[in-house]
Structure 1
């Protein structure tokens, strides 16, 4: 677990994220907090998967099925967005080390702990299989040792990247070689018996500290999985009796989770099922979470500015300089500027126009699908527009069918410092066959212009392609001439933080401590509670039927149809969101406004949160351009 890097986005969907838990072949896992105060683990699926034509639909189906799994030994799925530029899934955060971390730190588990582990995993797999799912990636890092027993995470996700996909090209492996079943290693159809093979391999690792099939290379390991009988002589006879049939090469010869539970028999209660190292790791992790959530107070410039701004408001209200009235619309910034002070950058006022071509004001005008259309990228070929459904990103296709993304957004990559791109410092991040390179957007601390590509022959080839593409994009954006088409009423050019002024915001949701431009089209107001405004292009909004919400409704605000969804989880643990379509683009998409108020840190109820959200929406709506 480590804090997010400076400049990284602090939100995913409706969750505030504050730490990175890890990263793997399928994506990145972040630690976040919901508006009701619950900790969540958010898996952001690798961006490359989003470009598979069937991925999003498979992901949506698997997530819906995964929500049916709610056993005591799984981490329940809370939320997901398969339509996000980077699809994500949120599940309940379970404090505890992974099985891999526990064994690496403290060695193999004692036999009593193995029995608890086996019983918990068998119950979890039974719940998963009854829901119609196959885990497909059961391995030590996907098993969390919580204080009262194991938890299985990430069930049902691997299925979404299987099928007829460029991501499962010849030679690609979905899963973890040492814990795959033989049929999975050979690319054959899977049944729930595949998970039982992984279960057996996992128990061997927990009991001995080593995987029974590990070879000198991935192909060697996969060969062992398919052809070699493992040496199980190190196992206690009681455990070997369970593991051996699970590791049968023929799926039909493997037992069910119910059979495993019968063999284990009654599990005696224990104050803790784990050796002492596990409670120690849990305590250490919880202390780290506490430090990340409540960092030591610092007298930062931002805090000093906020204090000065608050003092200025008191002086104005006290009659020293009576320049504003809270009952009238916000005056122009110059009307409230006192001679002795000037508004610091984080005070929520309209900022001067940024003249830099790579600044936010110009980038809102740029159509990224025009910037590289028809351009030839060395090692990749001539680019043609493939996907153009978002304000701030475009996906291009090469003659060979590979995809390249060019985007402006808040997903600032973690990576190493790279070469200068047209005089700008860059960050670079790559894996075996992919690469992403980003340069900062001038004057917007959470935002970058980035190019990325996946599924090339090597990381070096991928990085060469994206560096060339990004350098060409920077040159052409600076040269100009790629403005987007601007139909009447579009939201594309709007800075959401400039729509509602500081005095009005204070009156509606305040006092506002800080207004933060999250990226080109997102604004966050930190007040007593918090409010976020997003201007997005995407699917038309509908009334949510998700059981997560305790209240849903359809409102008429000044003739606009607005969809309300609220979670009422007690005072200071609730939130309310409002969504509406501002302008239709096609039957499939449009320009939408998303607004959410959370009660965190307040004594407001969910109904009061909705009243604040509605009051803000009623002020915001007339300020939007007419379609």
Structure 2
């Protein structure tokens, strides 16, 4: 996706546009939100095509066909405008990658994935053929993969069977050559069997990575479709007979959509996407969610700014009218105008308030934030962006005076445990007081506390070879806060990532307070939650760090109920650290649920208690 440009419309009908999904020869596709809150994909036709009578007829057919088709395996039409002045079509938005991209990124599908794909395509064809339509252009680019299965989109050249024939009077062939049926290639009329042929070609491509009718030119491909047997050597035997039936030259010999759907049920493999495909689908969904969240926050900011400006104009008009009506002297009028411009109505947005939700804090991309807000304003980044296990990030930036400054942005730290930051500097950023302490050598830190939801500490430290590190840290922190008031850069994490989870939601509250003793007070940061009292302090953390199951990690196996966890070999009296590997990520890293318990009395087995807390928390984690 890409941001809207100044030339793009802000609205189409009642739909507010958010981002650009893509552009092509026919038009542009935007992501939008309807007044009811529904996300839609909006196709706007290019103006030079909108006045073409033949294209108008084709676009009207697309709208009509989309309205006829309903079901769980297609994208429903939500709204449209077919007028020549500005034609557009809004369909249900499906946050999923297309099959062509998935095959390119992940390679051919195994039998289980092929079964799920075939079942989804067959079910979609049942819905498309029920009202008498033929899609005519099934291809990997028109098939989206969701966690539940395949969805068919784009009815641009769909037609009713009874009015079919050649789509144009000149006999032009319509469709994508590699997936055309022989009757389409010959320019003959098509029936629903043409779509079944396309499914066969798609399944062969998904199974092998190559077309069953390979060729180096369109004429060669079409000739092979009409006259050659398909190349199916790499199609698994469990699907080969079904694919061969779909690719029969004679339309009458192909299965119907219902027969195809029934046949997919006889394939013995479990219908599931392989892990690389599931990861790709989750990443695409996370990317879509990031764009929606980021863009809507920007739009809300723009709306707020427009509202403030509107109120300012009303105040100035009121001041002018009052000055004339009451015959206020010119000097008084100037004073009144000065008061209006200096009021909260005029200057509120000079330092917009910092509002960031707990959910945003948990997936805040501190590396992207420091790169945008600090490196973009205070110099050139000369060091790598280094992210720690708790989501903090640091880098080196060389400023205009050729000083190399090391900046580190951290998110977290208990708001109730701030011994280093007891003093207010008397200044603010985003309407939040900037707190700080005296520098330690050439390093100094400044912080603000977010006030939306669970308060959290946002800390910036700066290490400089000369100059005032505290002033440097404060300027950088102010730039970061201002960036956050415009939009919040979020990490693009899989939906099942534990870093999205509120760590306090994992506690069995009654059990934790019984173990900790009075007062059982809870403190939290975005990725950790602690319950502390007279008897113990229990902390659960959700982090990405080195895998505890590897021999070099300094951990040994520990049975936590029915789960295998790993105990740190660090020996501390009355304290125990347990790690549970939720899922590996990249290289030697993994997402880990960590339990840390510190007991006040020597009579309690800290590791046994930590294992009990961990075993109760694990079932509350998101399922992969």
- TM-score scaled by length of structure 2: 0.47
- Structure with higher Rg: it is 2
Give the structure, 1 or 2, with the largest relative contact order (CA under 8 Å, sep 6 or more).
1
